[in-house]
Every structure is written in C-alpha cells, then in structure tokens.
Amino acid sequence: MLPLLLFLKLLSVGALFAGSVGAIVARDLSDRRRFAYALAGPGFGAAWACGFGLTALTSQSLLSTWAIGSMALSLLSLQAVLWSVGKEGRRGAGAAAFVVLPLAGTVALMVWRP
C-alpha cells in the first residue's frame, strides 16, 4: 500500500505543479482558469489525501514542524492560484512568485523533513 500511495502522491504533486504553473503562464483567462480548476485544485486535494494516508501508514505526526509548514505553504500557494485566476490582470511576476515559491518550499519540507 505504501508504494501505491507514494506513486499517487507524486502524480498529484505533478498535477498541482502543472496546474499552478499553467494558471500563471497561459495568456487567456479561460485557459488559466481551466488549469487552476481542472489540475491544480484536484491535485491539491489528492496530494493532501495521499499525505494524510502516508503519515498514518508511517506513523508520522501531523503536528510536526515539516507537516504543518507543508500544509500552510501549499494552502498559501493554492490561494494564490485561485486569486490569480479570479479576474483578468492578475498575472505577473508577483503572482507567479506567490504560486511557485510556496510550492517549492512545500516540496523541500516534505523531502528533507527538518
């Protein structure tokens, strides 16, 4: 069961990254929304579900620093994605930084677990 959850977590994080980057890079607002709602949102939910399953299987604490930090950063990133596709004109370097940097921090916390 553990290898399956790890694989599903990898796929969901990939969908989250692809949807988040697509929500910033695409030029048309409808395309950006499609990336956000069809890839980033479901990828976020699946990543969290797999993460909860993995912490239960490996007896990790959800109250550890890396877990709380990962949850906070990923939630911040998803909110930035949703804000950026909320209306036209919210696509820029600042929005991209608020989307990509927290996601990179999330992955770093999950990989290195300080």
pLDDT at 8 over 80: yes
Determine the Cα–Cα distance for residues 3 and 92; give it in Å rounded to an integer: 38
pLDDT at 89 over 90: no
Determine the Cα–Cα distance for residues 96 and 110; give it in Å rounded to an integer: 21
The pTM (predicted TM-score) of the whole model is 0.90
**Domain containing 44: what range?**
2-112
φ/ψ of residue 91, rounded to 5:
-115, 110
φ/ψ of residue 18, rounded to 5:
-60, -45
Domain total in the chain? 1
User: pLDDT exceeding 90 applies to what percent of the chain?
Assistant: 86
102 C-beta neighbours (distance < 10 Å), count: 21
